[in-house]
């Protein structure tokens, strides 16, 4: 078999979860997919963790023929080789792709949680993943791997469940988001909040017409700017104009959605925003970006060295030269703490021009594949 083929998302039910905030959330559904097979010892499991807008569908095709978000990395003979590893990817807590989140039904009200969904943390997401892993009968994961928010989770996994993983790969992540990152997330949430189409009171927040709001699209556009680098934008779009050029006297403010922007970069963002609006839930966006903003191992543990004290896994930290949202200095802070705590740490700064998205774009895959494959083999 040289392709994964069509994969079906599976679901597991749990009673519930005690949140880090103290509250209780239940019942709980977790959506997940698996690729590859267990070996006899069941010690070949790799847990893949998605970023902000990802889902459980990491590889292969879904029933609509849509390719998984990390299909370039996961599959037979690929970086995470499904001939060798049993790969698991689940939708994170608070998401909108099958795992319990704001679009799920609140048993107390019979309606969707909407904006009443409780505040959750990266740690809560990790605890839910740990419940899934346990239910699948895995006592020790071979590797936990993720980029961006997934990288935060991988780091949190290693700190939290020291004895339940052999290694962790933390890609383009940080132990605490920069004020710059928080700022962009704040603007994104503001765009959602300011959208006049959205009813702001909770009881109405699940009505179907709110989906016409473009606040979420704007939030996504801002996000996309931060995921790219100046260099990629220049190379990919430059100052090129779309065929629907303006006549020099009129201009678009983006009000005509079908029309798109004047410059290609505008049309690109327009397209990204619109398609995101179709596939994502704004309350999920709010709750997940809040979890990202709050993630702070330093504050949680006093200092970074204490935070990584319980790690026994082999740690592999990867950053990208062109990533200005989660820059190398942030990965270095993790590396320094691991060094100071005398942990097994490798660190690679990968020279790729595609910004924060370098771990997702196909052009970066050949380089990243070699690195990840090499590390997994050496665990």
Partner 1 sequence: MSEQVLEIRTPFHEFEVGFNVIIDLITPGTRVLDLGCGSGTLLARLRDEKDVEGCGVELDQEKVIRCTERGIRVMTLDLDHGLEGFPDLSYEYVVLSRTLQQIINPERLVREMLRVGSKSIIAFPNFANWKIALRYLLTGRTPIVKTFPHPWFNSPDIHRVTISDFRHFIDDIGGKIEKEIFITKDTPGTNIFWPNGRAEWGCFQISAQ
Given the rule CB under 8 A, which of 15-23, 76-84, 248-256, 369-377 is the region that contacts partner 1? Answer: 369-377
Contact status: 231 vs partner 1 (CB under 8 A): no
Token output for 293: 């903003």
Token output for 180: 């710059």
Given the rule CB under 8 A, which of 14-22, 149-157, 285-293, 366-374 is the region that contacts partner 1? Answer: 366-374
Given the rule CB under 8 A, which of 2-10, 12-20, 173-181, 371-379 is the region that contacts partner 1? Answer: 371-379
Contact status: 378 vs partner 1 (CB under 8 A): yes
- Are residues 145 and 46 in contact, defined by beta-carbon separation less than 8 angstroms? yes
According to DSSP, the residues that pair with 147 across neighbouring strands are 171
- Are residues 281 and 102 in contact, defined by beta-carbon separation less than 8 angstroms? yes
Tell me whether residue 31 or residue 318 sits nearer to partner 1 (CB atom): 318
| DSSP E strand boundaries for the chain | 10-14, 17-18, 24-25, 28-35, 45-49, 74-75, 80-81, 86-90, 143-147, 167-171, 314-320, 345-350
> In whole angstroms, what is the distance from residue 115 CA to residue 269 CA?
26
Closest contact distance (angstroms) between CB of 337 and partner 1 is 9
Let me know if 50 is a catalytic residue: no
- Are residues 182 and 339 in contact, defined by beta-carbon separation less than 8 angstroms? no
Tell me whether residue 134 or residue 351 sits nearer to partner 1 (CB atom): 351
> In whole angstroms, what is the distance from residue 194 CA to residue 219 CA?
11
- Are residues 67 and 77 in contact, defined by beta-carbon separation less than 8 angstroms? no
Tell me whether residue 50 or residue 343 sits nearer to partner 1 (CB atom): 343
SS3 (DSSP) at 229: coil
Tell me whether residue 29 or residue 346 sits nearer to partner 1 (CB atom): 346
Following DSSP, what letter does each residue of 237-265 receive, concatenated? TTT-B-SS---SS----S--TTT--SBHH
Burial of 284 (0-12, 13-18, 19+ CB in 10 A): buried
Which residue of the set 81, 156, 195, 323 is catalytic?
323
Closest contact distance (angstroms) between CB of 374 and partner 1 is 4
Tell me whether residue 167 or residue 226 sits nearer to partner 1 (CB atom): 167
Closest contact distance (angstroms) between CB of 378 and partner 1 is 3
> In whole angstroms, what is the distance from residue 15 CA to residue 9 CA?
20
The strand pair at 167-171 and 314-320 is best described as parallel
Tell me whether residue 86 or residue 375 sits nearer to partner 1 (CB atom): 375
Site for partner 1, residues 62 to 121, rule: CB under 8 A: none
- Are residues 355 and 232 in contact, defined by beta-carbon separation less than 8 angstroms? yes
Closest contact distance (angstroms) between CB of 40 and partner 1 is 23
- Are residues 38 and 13 in contact, defined by beta-carbon separation less than 8 angstroms? no
Let me know if 356 is a catalytic residue: yes
SS3 (DSSP) at 279: helix
> In whole angstroms, what is the distance from residue 133 CA to residue 125 CA?
12
Which residue of the set 50, 57, 142, 356 is catalytic?
356
Site for partner 1, residues 267 to 326, rule: CB under 8 A: none
Which residue of the set 148, 284, 331, 358 is catalytic?
148
Let me know if 323 is a catalytic residue: yes
Closest contact distance (angstroms) between CB of 178 and partner 1 is 20
Tell me whether residue 241 or residue 373 sits nearer to partner 1 (CB atom): 373
Site for partner 1, residues 326 to 365, rule: CB under 8 A: 332, 335-336, 339-340, 342, 344-351
Q: Which of 37, 244, 299, 370 binds partner 1 (CB under 8 A)?
A: 370
Closest contact distance (angstroms) between CB of 362 and partner 1 is 18
| DSSP E strand boundaries for 99-237 | 143-147, 167-171
Residue positions annotated with a catalytic role: 148, 323, 356
Interface positions with partner 1 (CB under 8 A): 332, 335-336, 339-340, 342, 344-351, 367, 370-371, 373-375, 377-378
């Amino acid at each position: 078999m040289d392709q994964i083929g069509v994969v079906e998302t599976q679901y597991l039910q749990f009673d519930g979860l005690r949140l880090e905030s103290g509250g209780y959330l239940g019942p709980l559904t977790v959506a997940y997919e698996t690729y590859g097979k267990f070996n006899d010892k069941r010690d070949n499991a790799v847990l893949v963790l998605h970023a902000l807008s990802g889902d459980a569908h990491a590889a292969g095709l879904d029933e609509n023929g849509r390719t998984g978000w990390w299909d370039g990395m996961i599959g037979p003979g690929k970086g995470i080789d499904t001939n060798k590893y049993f790969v698991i990817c689940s939708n994170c807590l608070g998401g909108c792709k099958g795992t319990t989140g704001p679009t799920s039904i609140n048993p107390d009200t019979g309606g969707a949680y909407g904006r009443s969904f409780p505040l959750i943390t990266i740690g809560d997401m990790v605890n839910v993943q740990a419940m899934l892993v346990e239910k699948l009968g895995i006592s020790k994961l071979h590797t936990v791997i993720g980029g961006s928010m997934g990288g935060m989770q991988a780091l949190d996994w290693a700190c939290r469940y020291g004895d339940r993983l052999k290694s962790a790969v933390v890609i383009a992540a940080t132990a605490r988001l920069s004020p710059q990152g928080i700022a962009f997330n704040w603007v994104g949430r503001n765009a959602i909040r300011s959208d006049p189409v959205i009813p702001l009171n909770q009881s109405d927040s699940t009505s179907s017409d709110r989906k016409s709001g473009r606040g979420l699209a704007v939030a996504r556009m801002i996000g996309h700017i931060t995921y790219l680098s100046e260099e990629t934008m220049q190379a990919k779009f430059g100052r090129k104009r779309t065929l629907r050029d303006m006549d020099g006297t009129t201009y678009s403010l983006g009000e005509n959605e079908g029309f798109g922007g004047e410059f290609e970069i505008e049309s690109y963002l327009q397209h990204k925003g619109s398609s995101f609006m179709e596939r994502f839930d704004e309350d999920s966006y709010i709750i997940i970006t809040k979890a990202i903003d709050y993630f702070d191992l330093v504050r949680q543990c006093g200092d970074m060295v204490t935070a990584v004290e319980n790690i026994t896994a082999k740690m592999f930290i990867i950053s990208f030269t062109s990533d200005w949202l989660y820059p190398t200095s942030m990965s270095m802070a993790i590396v320094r703490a691991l060094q100071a705590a005398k942990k097994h740490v490798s660190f690679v700064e990968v020279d790729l021009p595609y910004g924060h998205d370098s771990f997702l774009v196909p052009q970066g895959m050949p380089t990243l594949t070699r690195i990840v494959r090499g590390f997994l083999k050496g665990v």
